[in-house]
Amino acid sequence: MTPTDLHFTTIAEAARLIAARKLSLVELTETYLNRIEALDDQLDSFVTITGDRARREARAAEAEILSSGPRSKLHGIPYCLKDIFDTAGIRTTAQSKLLADNVPVTDSFCQARLSEAGGVLLGKNATWEFAHGGPSWDVLFPPARNPWNTDHSPAGSSSGSGAAVAAGFAPATMGTDTGGSIRGPAAACGIAGLKPTYGRVSRRGVIPNCFSHDHAGPLAWTTEDVALLMQIVAGHDPLDPGSADMPVPDYAAALTGDVSGLVIGVPWRWLEEELPLKAPTRAAFDAALAVYAALGAEIREVSLPTLKAYEDAKKIIAIVELFSIHEQDLRTRPELFGASLRYRIIAGGLVRAEEYVQAMRARTDLARAMQAVMGTVDVIMLPTGEPAGLLEPVPPQTLFTRSSYMTAFNVGGNPALSICSGFNDAGLPFSLQIVGRLFDEATVLRVGDAYERATPWRERRPALTARAKV
């Protein structure tokens, strides 16, 4: 390990070095803080940096590990959080002028778990306003940029989280996903990001987007690291009404590398007819399926309800719940919202109660249809999306008119992992989405990890160089 690549150390590698007492935690934390200081003016991936706290936590972790060994695989490892996770005493803004001075008094469930595990908090990551409307240039902070090409978007809404991990600013972060907000940035930035099963990870202390579809989950460079983070944040929280009281397996133990005999379902009608893939993305997806076939998996077609059916139910529910969360501010100070978010939620106040109930009924029927298909395969596989587009204003109407391959799995509640599956001619990552049965994150992670072991994509990193400071 040289000082030049210390910032690209994975959690798993760092944990091994820490256990062997071959890595200075103070040096590790300082490496990340220096890198953020030198390079984040190009990415805007952090909105708050907690340098003093991180140095304190690193020194304390180093002393504790020297005397009694590590508490967990995360002990002494730096991480960051999307700026919608409450952090006691640290500003939590959701990127919104409405929360510019919001300093929570208690930690979110996830922050509490990561802190108890001995992690070192580096800071808070940029998001889209309230994890929904963006990218925006009229909100509290500028939008994050993609480290593979800073003219491109890191997608959203966990934009800063995806950019920070890919850039080597932190090995771990937490994001949230209501319609693709973990998987989209993971895909755009070429990292691994897991939307767990609905209810698997507590959302207590997370600023809500849409209660019916909000999920919290980890992002990291590798699936193995995502598994390590899941071990810390997964589990029942009686104080989150949506939290599921289900046993949590040993996720790292599930990473056997073996997918022989596994049945993979591909929703070809989505990919060929309803929202056709572009040719290079299709070629990358075919190549990924070939890797699994060579590893002994069986690939077959599955048929699901239309993407549009999932999108309509999800978005009617989302705008009504968003309006109910923000109604007072929309009525009294609408000018403090970014235009993109305001457009997307303001009509939620005009949706009839009957339409919300119909959308909730449709959601249940669509989720049932998905679970029926999932009963016939081990995982569903498809691209997460096309490679990252340019970072530029997006017409807000597209929220209502554009489909994605991700939203259906928020409606179904199924665990869905995005991993990197190569790079296009412009050097931007391709992505692969792996969807599992409810509460079967272990299989999803096993399938993602097996692909990463069999392919060279984890060896490539974005090249960022410091600009001369004037």
Partner 1 sequence: MTEFTPTRDEIVLLARHAGLDLPPAYFDELVDAYANVRRMAARLPHNRPRGDEPAHVFTPTKFLPVRS
The number of angstroms, rounded, from the C-alpha of 58 to the middle of its chain's C-alpha atoms is 25
Choose, from 108, 161, 181, 418, the residue flagged as catalytic.
181
In this complex, which beta carbon is closest to partner 1, that of residue 315 or of residue 446? 315
Query: Which is it for strands 78-82 and 120-125: parallel, antiparallel or unpaired?
Result: parallel
Residue 181 is among the residues annotated as catalytic for this protein: yes
Instruction: Extract the tokens encoding 347.
Output: 């009509």
Shortest separation between residue 237's beta carbon and partner 1, angstroms: 10
Q: Which lies closer to partner 1 via its Cβ, residue 190 or residue 338?
A: 338
C-alpha distances in angstroms, 216 versus 13, 196, 344?
Answer: 25, 7, 22
Shortest distance, position 317 Cβ to partner 1, whole Å:
10
The minimum distance between CB 133 and partner 1, in angstroms, equals: 12
Q: 21: alpha, beta or left, given left = phi > 0 and alpha = psi -120 to 50? A: left
Minimum separation from the CB atom of position 360 to partner 1 (A): 4
Residues 235/237/238/239 CA torsion (nearest 10 deg): -170
Contact 4, 35 (CB under 8 A): no
Query: Minimum distance between the CB of residue 364 and partner 1, rounded to whole angstroms?
Result: 4
List interacting residues with partner 1 (CB under 8 A): 238-239, 241, 308-309, 311-313, 315-316, 319, 323, 327, 330-331, 334-335, 339, 342-344, 346-352, 355-365, 368, 396-397, 400-401
Q: Which is nearer to partner 1, 324 or 424 (CB)?
A: 324
The neighbour count for residue 107, using CB atoms within 10 Å, is: 22
Nearest approach, Cβ of residue 331 and partner 1 (Å): 5
- Closer residue to partner 1 (CB): 250 or 365: 365
Residue whose token pair is 């910032």: 7
Estimate to the nearest angstrom the gap between the alpha carbon of 224 and the chain centroid.
Answer: 15
Out of 108, 136, 157, 158, which one is annotated catalytic?
157
The least CB distance from residue 441 to partner 1, in Å, is 24
Minimum CB distance to partner 1 smaller for 300 or for 402: 402
* Angstrom distance (rounded) from CA 318 to CA 214: 10
Residue 374 CB, nearest approach to partner 1 (Å) = 18
| Least distance from partner 1 to the Cβ atom of residue 309, Å | 7
Which residue among the candidates 82, 124, 195, 314 is catalytic per the annotation?
Answer: 82
Whether 418 is catalytic is no
Q: Annotate the chain with three-state secondary structure.
A: CCCCCHHHCCHHHHHHHHHCCCCCHHHHHHHHHHHHHHHCCCCCCEEEECHHHHHHHHHHHHHHHHHHCCCCCCCCCEEEEECCECECCECCCCCCHHHCCCCCCCCCHHHHHHHHCCCEEEEEECCCECCCECCCCCCCCCCCCCCCCCCECCCCCCHHHHHHHHCCCCCEEEEEECCCCCHHHHHHHCCEEEECCCCCECCCCECCCCCCCCEEEEEECCHHHHHHHHHHHECCCCCCCCCCCCCCCCCHHHCCCCCCCCEEEECHHHHHHHCCCCHHHHHHHHHHHHHHHHCCCEEEECCCCCHHHHHHHHHHHHHHHHHHHHHHHHHHCHHHCCHHHHHHHHHHHHCCHHHHHHHHHHHHHHHHHHHHHHCCCCEEEECCCCCCCECCCCCCCHHHHCCCCCHHHHHHCCCEEEEEEEECCCCCEEEEEEEECCCCHHHHHHHHHHHHHHCCHHHCCCCCCCCCCC
Query: Which residue number, 255 or 362, has a Cβ lying nearer to partner 1?
Result: 362
Nearer to partner 1, 288 or 319 (CB): 319
Catalytic residue set? 82, 157, 181
